[in-house]
Amino acid sequence: MSEKFFKKLPKVELHAHINGSISEDTMATLVARKQAVDQDWRLMYRKGESDTLEGVFKMFKLIHQITDNTDAVYKVTYDVIHEFAADNVKYLELRTTPRAEPGTGMTKTAYVEAVIQAIQDCALEDIDIIVRLILAIDRRHSVSVAMETVNLAAEYRKKTEGLVVGVDFSGDPSVGDGSDFIPVFEEARRHGLKLALHLAEVPAPDETWKLLQLPPDRIGHGTCLQPEVGGTQQLVDFVTAKRIPLELCLTSNIVGRTVPDYDNHHFLFWYDRRHPCIVCTDDKGVFSTTLSNEYSVAADTFNLSRDQVWQLSLDSIDHLFSDDEVKRKLRHKERKLTRSTG
């Protein structure tokens, strides 16, 4: 299958962190507007430089120095949407952690409003992509900070008539105990928000088991659910029985070294069991990838046929956090395109 095939494939992206998705071009523009930035950023900003999860988190720190004001947050969001649209992504759920920057006076509310403004401006343009927003809870922060994020998500869900669809749980997986946040996720649910939680990105069977009882609507990564990689059979059985979809980010896991190589990626384990698997980018900027490339890598590594790739993309629609009307329209569009492009 050619590069063109993967590019033309209409796609759904459900796991993309805004600041991790920043392109090199956008970085260069924003760095040019600043003075106090490490001039070696371009060196760091290459696949292979951030070659452990620790290195990846250093990259986020650098990017956050650059996106420390609402103009930059608006630009990153706007550019990222255009880049996904150019990659033929028809539906995109962006996620981001509301951030206050006392140095520039940016508040969390202003941050969220800049992101929403960019999404709304893109919706008025002639680009064929539907965008929704998930607000992220960083596990390195406190439970009360997390509760603030849930309140912001609930507030802006109402104000934007459903543009904000859920909350995410992310941040350095080696920090803290995720089960402390269970009351926060229960509160999010009471507000009608969906839950997309990073789970078992590194081995953490106790925490994972407790968080699974919620249960989340989707799991980010799920790298270490199986017993051979630090999980348990109980975790595998639970996720299987509940059919909780997995957001799988192949390149991210290889670069971050939570998986040794593509051949050993847990995609195959779950895909073979016909479990809902969604191919995602995670941080397309930091990992120098695209969603087309992620589909191409999955197809090459696991010998997927054209039909299987189409079906994988089509099935992702079942798991997005928008209403059935959006799902129906997307399925219709994909089927029409399947017929016309083969």
Q: How far is the CB of 30 from ligand 6MZ (least distance, A)?
A: 14
Q: How many residues does the chain have?
A: 342
Using the minimum distance from each CB to ligand 6MZ, give the nearer residue, 56 or 235. 56
Q: How far is the CB of 105 from ligand 6MZ (least distance, A)?
A: 18
Using the minimum distance from each CB to ligand 6MZ, give the nearer residue, 83 or 138. 138
Encoding tokens for residue 184? 């926060």
Using the minimum distance from each CB to ligand 6MZ, give the nearer residue, 91 or 169. 169
Q: How far is the CB of 2 from ligand 6MZ (least distance, A)?
A: 29
Going by C-alpha positions, the residue among 87, 85, 94 that lies closest to residue 128 is 85
Encoding tokens for residue 77? 């969001």
Q: How far is the CB of 308 from ligand 6MZ (least distance, A)?
A: 26
Angle at 213 between CA 209 and CA 214, to 5 degrees: 130
Q: How far is the CB of 167 from ligand 6MZ (least distance, A)?
A: 12
Residues at the contact surface with ligand 6MZ, assessed by CB under 6 A = 17-20, 56, 60, 96-97, 136, 138, 170-171, 173, 198, 201, 252, 256, 282-283
* 3 Cβ contact partners less than 8 Å away, ≥ 6 residues apart: 292, 296
Q: How far is the CB of 241 from ligand 6MZ (least distance, A)?
A: 26
Distance (Å, whole) CA 76 – CA 86: 15
Using the minimum distance from each CB to ligand 6MZ, give the nearer residue, 20 or 245. 20
Helices in the chain by DSSP H: which ranges? 3-8, 24-32, 41-44, 53-66, 70-86, 108-123, 143-159, 182-190, 205-212, 233-242, 250-255, 267-272, 291-302, 306-316, 324-341
Using the minimum distance from each CB to ligand 6MZ, give the nearer residue, 19 or 26. 19
Report residue 100: phi and psi, to 5°.
-100, 140
Encoding tokens for residue 67? 């996106």
Active site residues: 201
At position 198, the amino acid (one-letter code) is H
Going by C-alpha positions, the residue among 150, 241, 168 that lies closest to residue 20 is 168
Distance (Å, whole) CA 122 – CA 115: 11
Using the minimum distance from each CB to ligand 6MZ, give the nearer residue, 9 or 152. 152
DSSP state at residue 21: G
Going by C-alpha positions, the residue among 285, 318, 337 that lies closest to residue 30 is 285
